[in-house]
Amino acid sequence: MPELPEVETVRRGLEPAMVGARFKSVAQRRPDLRFPFPERFAERLNGQEITALGRRAKYLLADLSSGEVLVMHLGMSGRFLVVQGGAEIRPGEFHFDPALGAHDHVVFGLSNGATVTYNDARRFGFMDLVPRSDIETCRHFKGMGIEPLGNELSGETIARLFAGKRTPLKAALLDQRLIAGLGNIYVSEALFRTGLHPEAAAGSLVTATGRPSEKAHRLADVIRDVLNEAVIAGGSTLRDHAQVDGTLGYFQHRFRVYDREGEACVTPDCRGVVQRLVQSGRSTFYCPKCQRPRIKRKSAS
Protein backbone atom coordinates (compact mmCIF):
# COMPACT_ATOMS: atom_id res chain seq x y z
CA MET A 1 0.00 0.00 0.00
CA PRO A 2 1.36 3.46 -0.86
CA GLU A 3 2.63 5.21 2.26
CA LEU A 4 2.45 8.90 3.09
CA PRO A 5 5.40 9.97 0.90
CA GLU A 6 3.90 8.19 -2.12
CA VAL A 7 0.55 9.90 -1.57
CA GLU A 8 2.22 13.29 -1.15
CA THR A 9 4.17 12.63 -4.36
CA VAL A 10 0.89 11.94 -6.18
CA ARG A 11 -0.67 15.09 -4.72
CA ARG A 12 2.18 17.23 -5.99
CA GLY A 13 1.91 15.63 -9.41
CA LEU A 14 -1.85 16.23 -9.66
CA GLU A 15 -1.87 19.77 -8.26
CA PRO A 16 -0.71 21.66 -11.40
CA ALA A 17 -3.32 19.96 -13.58
CA MET A 18 -6.25 20.07 -11.17
CA VAL A 19 -6.16 23.17 -8.98
CA GLY A 20 -7.99 26.10 -10.58
CA ALA A 21 -9.69 23.88 -13.17
CA ARG A 22 -13.32 22.84 -13.32
CA PHE A 23 -14.72 19.39 -13.89
CA LYS A 24 -15.97 19.48 -17.47
CA SER A 25 -16.91 15.80 -17.57
CA VAL A 26 -16.83 12.87 -15.17
CA ALA A 27 -16.94 9.29 -16.46
CA GLN A 28 -17.70 6.83 -13.63
CA ARG A 29 -17.29 3.39 -15.16
CA ARG A 30 -18.45 1.18 -12.29
CA PRO A 31 -20.78 1.60 -9.29
CA ASP A 32 -18.13 0.94 -6.67
CA LEU A 33 -14.49 0.46 -5.79
CA ARG A 34 -13.81 -0.68 -2.24
CA PHE A 35 -17.04 1.12 -1.34
CA PRO A 36 -19.93 2.36 -3.51
CA PHE A 37 -19.44 5.79 -5.05
CA PRO A 38 -21.50 8.58 -3.45
CA GLU A 39 -24.98 9.18 -4.83
CA ARG A 40 -25.01 11.37 -7.95
CA PHE A 41 -21.19 11.36 -7.89
CA ALA A 42 -20.63 12.67 -11.42
CA GLU A 43 -23.48 15.17 -11.17
CA ARG A 44 -22.13 16.67 -7.94
CA LEU A 45 -18.66 17.10 -9.46
CA ASN A 46 -19.59 18.47 -12.87
CA GLY A 47 -18.99 22.22 -13.16
CA GLN A 48 -17.25 22.50 -9.80
CA GLU A 49 -13.88 24.24 -9.51
CA ILE A 50 -11.06 22.52 -7.66
CA THR A 51 -9.88 25.26 -5.32
CA ALA A 52 -7.17 23.29 -3.47
CA LEU A 53 -5.64 19.84 -3.36
CA GLY A 54 -4.45 18.71 0.04
CA ARG A 55 -3.54 15.56 1.91
CA ARG A 56 -4.59 14.12 5.27
CA ALA A 57 -2.51 11.09 6.25
CA LYS A 58 -2.80 8.80 3.18
CA TYR A 59 -5.87 10.53 1.74
CA LEU A 60 -6.04 13.11 -1.04
CA LEU A 61 -8.49 15.98 -0.46
CA ALA A 62 -9.74 18.11 -3.36
CA ASP A 63 -11.67 21.15 -2.13
CA LEU A 64 -14.53 22.08 -4.45
CA SER A 65 -16.31 25.37 -5.07
CA SER A 66 -19.54 23.66 -3.97
CA GLY A 67 -18.23 23.44 -0.40
CA GLU A 68 -17.71 19.68 -0.64
CA VAL A 69 -14.40 17.84 -0.54
CA LEU A 70 -13.56 15.03 -2.93
CA VAL A 71 -11.84 12.46 -0.69
CA MET A 72 -9.65 9.97 -2.57
CA HIS A 73 -7.74 6.96 -1.25
CA LEU A 74 -5.36 4.96 -3.44
CA GLY A 75 -5.81 1.65 -1.65
CA MET A 76 -3.11 -0.83 -2.65
CA SER A 77 -2.76 -0.25 -6.40
CA GLY A 78 -4.61 2.96 -7.19
CA ARG A 79 -2.86 5.54 -9.37
CA PHE A 80 -3.60 8.55 -11.53
CA LEU A 81 -2.61 9.25 -15.11
CA VAL A 82 -2.56 12.84 -16.37
CA VAL A 83 -2.87 13.69 -20.06
CA GLN A 84 -2.46 17.35 -20.96
CA GLY A 85 -1.48 19.38 -24.01
CA GLY A 86 -2.05 16.48 -26.38
CA ALA A 87 0.71 14.40 -24.82
CA GLU A 88 0.10 11.35 -22.67
CA ILE A 89 2.23 11.22 -19.55
CA ARG A 90 2.94 7.52 -19.21
CA PRO A 91 3.21 6.02 -15.72
CA GLY A 92 6.26 3.84 -16.25
CA GLU A 93 6.01 0.15 -17.01
CA PHE A 94 2.46 0.10 -15.73
CA HIS A 95 1.19 1.69 -18.95
CA PHE A 96 2.52 -1.01 -21.22
CA ASP A 97 0.28 -3.79 -19.97
CA PRO A 98 -2.78 -3.45 -22.25
CA ALA A 99 -4.96 -5.45 -19.87
CA LEU A 100 -4.68 -2.72 -17.24
CA GLY A 101 -6.69 -0.28 -19.34
CA ALA A 102 -9.75 -2.21 -18.21
CA HIS A 103 -9.10 -0.84 -14.72
CA ASP A 104 -9.52 2.83 -15.66
CA HIS A 105 -12.50 3.33 -13.38
CA VAL A 106 -12.90 7.12 -13.25
CA VAL A 107 -11.95 9.68 -15.90
CA PHE A 108 -12.05 13.40 -15.11
CA GLY A 109 -12.16 15.82 -18.03
CA LEU A 110 -11.02 19.26 -16.86
CA SER A 111 -11.70 22.75 -18.21
CA ASN A 112 -8.00 23.36 -18.86
CA GLY A 113 -7.88 20.47 -21.33
CA ALA A 114 -6.30 17.97 -18.94
CA THR A 115 -7.66 14.47 -18.50
CA VAL A 116 -7.06 12.73 -15.17
CA THR A 117 -7.69 8.98 -15.08
CA TYR A 118 -7.93 6.90 -11.92
CA ASN A 119 -6.81 3.32 -12.45
CA ASP A 120 -7.06 0.65 -9.76
CA ALA A 121 -6.54 -3.00 -10.68
CA ARG A 122 -7.29 -4.32 -7.19
CA ARG A 123 -10.09 -1.83 -6.44
CA PHE A 124 -9.10 -1.25 -2.81
CA GLY A 125 -9.13 2.52 -3.30
CA PHE A 126 -12.24 4.66 -3.05
CA MET A 127 -13.70 8.13 -3.55
CA ASP A 128 -16.18 10.02 -1.41
CA LEU A 129 -17.75 13.47 -1.20
CA VAL A 130 -17.88 15.13 2.22
CA PRO A 131 -18.96 18.66 3.23
CA ARG A 132 -15.88 20.69 4.17
CA SER A 133 -17.54 21.59 7.49
CA ASP A 134 -17.76 17.87 8.37
CA ILE A 135 -14.33 16.77 7.20
CA GLU A 136 -12.72 16.32 10.63
CA THR A 137 -15.69 14.43 12.06
CA CYS A 138 -16.54 12.26 9.05
CA ARG A 139 -15.96 8.51 9.12
CA HIS A 140 -12.62 8.81 7.35
CA PHE A 141 -10.94 11.22 9.76
CA LYS A 142 -12.80 11.04 13.05
CA GLY A 143 -10.32 10.09 15.74
CA MET A 144 -7.35 10.35 13.40
CA GLY A 145 -4.05 11.40 14.95
CA ILE A 146 -1.69 14.25 14.19
CA GLU A 147 0.12 14.77 10.89
CA PRO A 148 3.77 13.63 11.06
CA LEU A 149 4.87 16.36 8.64
CA GLY A 150 3.02 19.09 10.53
CA ASN A 151 4.36 21.38 13.22
CA GLU A 152 2.53 19.42 15.91
CA LEU A 153 4.96 16.50 15.86
CA SER A 154 7.62 17.05 18.53
CA GLY A 155 9.28 15.31 21.43
CA GLU A 156 6.68 16.82 23.74
CA THR A 157 3.86 15.45 21.60
CA ILE A 158 5.40 11.99 21.51
CA ALA A 159 5.72 12.06 25.30
CA ARG A 160 2.07 13.05 25.65
CA LEU A 161 0.87 10.34 23.25
CA PHE A 162 3.09 7.53 24.55
CA ALA A 163 3.09 8.18 28.29
CA GLY A 164 2.38 5.00 30.24
CA LYS A 165 2.06 2.84 27.14
CA ARG A 166 3.59 -0.65 27.21
CA THR A 167 2.72 -1.12 23.54
CA PRO A 168 5.78 -1.91 21.40
CA LEU A 169 7.20 1.27 19.97
CA LYS A 170 6.67 0.29 16.36
CA ALA A 171 3.02 -0.60 16.99
CA ALA A 172 2.44 2.75 18.70
CA LEU A 173 3.95 4.62 15.76
CA LEU A 174 1.67 2.73 13.35
CA ASP A 175 -1.43 3.54 15.42
CA GLN A 176 -3.31 5.99 13.19
CA ARG A 177 -5.19 7.32 16.21
CA LEU A 178 -1.91 8.72 17.53
CA ILE A 179 0.11 9.75 14.49
CA ALA A 180 -1.67 9.56 11.15
CA GLY A 181 -0.05 8.35 7.96
CA LEU A 182 3.03 6.55 9.23
CA GLY A 183 3.53 3.16 7.56
CA ASN A 184 5.66 0.08 7.96
CA ILE A 185 8.56 1.10 5.73
CA TYR A 186 9.30 4.54 7.11
CA VAL A 187 8.73 3.57 10.75
CA SER A 188 11.38 0.87 10.37
CA GLU A 189 13.75 3.42 8.84
CA ALA A 190 13.07 6.04 11.53
CA LEU A 191 13.59 3.61 14.40
CA PHE A 192 16.89 2.46 12.91
CA ARG A 193 18.18 5.99 12.48
CA THR A 194 17.18 6.81 16.04
CA GLY A 195 18.73 3.67 17.50
CA LEU A 196 15.46 2.49 19.03
CA HIS A 197 14.44 -1.15 19.25
CA PRO A 198 11.03 -1.78 17.62
CA GLU A 199 9.89 -3.92 20.56
CA ALA A 200 10.79 -1.36 23.24
CA ALA A 201 7.81 -0.03 25.18
CA ALA A 202 6.45 3.21 23.74
CA GLY A 203 6.37 4.64 27.25
CA SER A 204 10.14 4.22 27.53
CA LEU A 205 10.51 7.50 25.61
CA VAL A 206 8.96 9.35 28.53
CA THR A 207 10.85 10.22 31.71
CA ALA A 208 9.54 9.55 35.21
CA THR A 209 8.44 13.18 35.38
CA GLY A 210 6.44 12.89 32.16
CA ARG A 211 8.94 14.79 30.05
CA PRO A 212 10.20 13.61 26.66
CA SER A 213 13.53 11.82 26.67
CA GLU A 214 16.34 12.86 24.35
CA LYS A 215 15.38 9.94 22.10
CA ALA A 216 11.80 11.24 21.87
CA HIS A 217 13.05 14.57 20.54
CA ARG A 218 15.38 12.76 18.16
CA LEU A 219 12.62 10.45 16.92
CA ALA A 220 10.32 13.35 16.06
CA ASP A 221 13.07 14.99 14.01
CA VAL A 222 14.04 11.76 12.27
CA ILE A 223 10.45 10.86 11.32
CA ARG A 224 10.11 14.22 9.61
CA ASP A 225 13.50 13.88 7.91
CA VAL A 226 12.81 10.37 6.58
CA LEU A 227 9.40 11.34 5.19
CA ASN A 228 10.72 14.51 3.56
CA GLU A 229 13.63 12.62 1.99
CA ALA A 230 11.19 10.07 0.57
CA VAL A 231 8.90 12.79 -0.82
CA ILE A 232 11.85 14.49 -2.53
CA ALA A 233 12.95 11.13 -3.97
CA GLY A 234 9.43 10.43 -5.18
CA GLY A 235 8.42 7.72 -2.76
CA SER A 236 9.44 4.09 -2.60
CA THR A 237 7.75 2.78 -5.75
CA LEU A 238 7.41 -0.70 -4.29
CA ARG A 239 5.59 -2.98 -6.75
CA ASP A 240 2.62 -1.00 -8.07
CA HIS A 241 3.37 2.60 -7.23
CA ALA A 242 4.51 5.18 -9.77
CA GLN A 243 4.36 8.95 -9.89
CA VAL A 244 1.69 10.59 -12.03
CA ASP A 245 4.30 11.76 -14.55
CA GLY A 246 5.47 8.20 -15.07
CA THR A 247 8.83 8.49 -13.35
CA LEU A 248 9.76 6.10 -10.58
CA GLY A 249 10.72 7.12 -7.09
CA TYR A 250 14.02 5.77 -5.85
CA PHE A 251 13.94 6.14 -2.08
CA GLN A 252 14.16 2.35 -1.82
CA HIS A 253 17.79 2.65 -2.86
CA ARG A 254 18.34 4.71 0.28
CA PHE A 255 16.83 2.20 2.68
CA ARG A 256 19.28 1.66 5.51
CA VAL A 257 17.47 -1.25 7.11
CA TYR A 258 14.09 -2.01 5.46
CA ASP A 259 14.08 -5.22 3.39
CA ARG A 260 17.80 -5.79 4.07
CA GLU A 261 17.53 -8.96 6.17
CA GLY A 262 20.85 -10.78 6.40
CA GLU A 263 22.86 -7.84 5.07
CA ALA A 264 25.55 -6.00 6.98
CA CYS A 265 24.44 -2.95 8.96
CA VAL A 266 25.34 0.27 7.16
CA THR A 267 26.43 2.00 10.37
CA PRO A 268 30.22 2.43 10.30
CA ASP A 269 32.08 -0.02 12.57
CA CYS A 270 28.84 -1.68 13.69
CA ARG A 271 29.47 -5.22 12.37
CA GLY A 272 25.83 -6.04 13.01
CA VAL A 273 23.60 -7.97 10.61
CA VAL A 274 20.08 -6.77 9.81
CA GLN A 275 17.41 -9.06 11.22
CA ARG A 276 13.68 -9.36 10.62
CA LEU A 277 10.91 -9.98 13.10
CA VAL A 278 7.15 -10.04 12.63
CA GLN A 279 4.98 -7.61 14.58
CA SER A 280 1.21 -7.69 14.11
CA GLY A 281 1.67 -9.57 10.86
CA ARG A 282 4.15 -7.06 9.41
CA SER A 283 7.86 -7.45 8.83
CA THR A 284 10.12 -5.29 10.94
CA PHE A 285 13.78 -4.86 9.99
CA TYR A 286 16.34 -3.76 12.55
CA CYS A 287 19.98 -4.03 13.59
CA PRO A 288 20.28 -5.85 16.95
CA LYS A 289 23.50 -3.99 17.72
CA CYS A 290 22.46 -0.44 16.77
CA GLN A 291 18.97 -0.87 18.20
CA ARG A 292 19.54 -2.64 21.47
CA PRO A 293 16.53 -2.65 23.79
CA ARG A 294 16.89 -0.51 26.86
CA ILE A 295 17.56 -2.57 29.98
CA LYS A 296 16.26 -1.16 33.22
CA ARG A 297 18.79 -1.57 36.01
CA LYS A 298 17.49 -2.86 39.30
CA SER A 299 17.90 -0.43 42.16
CA ALA A 300 20.17 -1.53 44.96
CA SER A 301 18.31 -2.98 47.92
- Residues 209, 212, 215, 216, Cα dihedral to 10°: 140
Active site residue 2: yes
Q: Where are the alpha helices (DSSP H) in 36-139?
A: 41-45
Query: From the candidates 55, 56, 58, 260, which is the catalytic residue?
Result: 58
With contact defined as beta carbons under 8 Å apart, do 172 and 198 qualify? no
Query: From the candidates 44, 90, 282, 292, which is the catalytic residue?
Result: 282
Is 165 annotated to bind ligand?
yes
Query: From the candidates 2, 5, 91, 168, which is the catalytic residue?
Result: 2
Is 105 annotated to bind ligand?
no
Active site residue 3: yes
- The set of residues, in sequence order, having a beta carbon less than 8 Å from that of 77 and lying 6+ positions away, is 120, 121, 122, 124, 125, 240
Active site residue 58: yes
Would strands 79-84 and 87-88 be described as parallel, antiparallel, or unpaired? antiparallel
- Residues 215, 155, 212, 169, Cα dihedral to 10°: -60
Active site residue 11: no
Is the torsion defined by CA of 63, 64, 68, 72 positive or negative? negative
End-to-end CA distance of the chain: give it in Å, rounded: 51
Q: What's CA 114's distance to the chain center, in Å?
A: 26
> Where in the sequence numbering do the catalytic residues fall?
2-3, 58, 282
Annotated binding site for DNA: 103, 122, 165
Annotated binding site: 103, 122, 165
